[in-house]
Amino acid sequence: MLKKFKSWYKNVFGSRRELVREETMDVKNHRVEIRDVTYFVAKALFTDIPEMIEIERAVYSGQAPWDSTAFANELRREKDRLYLVIRKNDKLLAFIGSTFDERTRDAHITNIAVLPEFQSRGLGRFLMGVMIKKAKQLNYKSVSLEVRVSNSNAQKLYRDLDFEQTGIKRGYYFGDHEDAADMVLYLKEEPEETD
């Protein structure tokens, strides 16, 4: 009988972890100050995809590693994916995407890009900080990512955020087959609240 009650209760009210996850993944559109400049942050929408691809082209010498189908597939998975965009004067300047894996308790940064003319203004650091905070709120063990071995600026940012290199993936990137450095930020476990 208790088992049936617990099952009914969970179906009706959800588990605490599920509620925390829903709240954590729900990002309201809002303004933020980054280095004394006001920007607009929002969850990425399907209508943002063309601009996200344009940012990738600007960052990756005319090549967009992801196409619209790949981005659309990611944005459809609202339960375990979170994509955010930063705008100024209605222009998309930067975005980040992450998967949140309940099984491994890892938030994996799938994609982050900032228009070249807006790099070194704290936008990438801000977006990484948001995803790290989300992972901590979910009591995850780690935040992981891959980065091109040639991208020393990004690697410096990740090291500044306490990521450490854990390996190399040979020929990882499509097209030029450049190697990727695996990097991980290990998060301290917070004691879980009990009801």
Residue of 23, 83, 158, 173 marked active site: 158
Q: What is the dihedral of CA 23, 25, 29, 31, to 10 degrees?
A: 90
pTM: 0.85
Describe the strand order of the beta sheet including 37-43 as a list of residue ranges: 30-34, 37-43, 81-88, 91-101, 106-114, 142-148, 180-186, 164-169
Give the integer Cα–Cα distance in Å for 123 and 115: 10
Residue of 146, 173, 190, 193 marked active site: 146
Below-70 pLDDT ranges, the chain: 1-16, 189-195
pLDDT tens column, 26-56: 888 999 999 999 999 999 999 999 999 999 9
Q: Please state the separation of Cα 108 from the chain's center in Å.
A: 7
pLDDT tens column, 62-77: 888 889 999 999 999 9
Give the integer Cα–Cα distance in Å for 131 and 147: 16
Q: Please say if 140 is a catalytic residue.
A: no
Give the integer Cα–Cα distance in Å for 144 and 165: 10
The pLDDT of residue 60:
84
Helix (H, G, I), strand (E, B) or coil at 165: strand
Q: What is the dihedral of CA 162, 168, 174, 176, to 10 degrees?
A: 100
Q: Please say if 102 is a catalytic residue.
A: no
Q: What is the dihedral of CA 67, 185, 126, 147, to 10 degrees?
A: -40
Q: Residue 178 is encoded by which pair of tokens?
A: 């450049």
Alpha helix stretches (DSSP H) within 120-189? 123-137, 152-160
The pLDDT of residue 22:
79
Decide: 90 and 75 in contact? Cβ < 8 Å.
no
The pLDDT of residue 62:
81
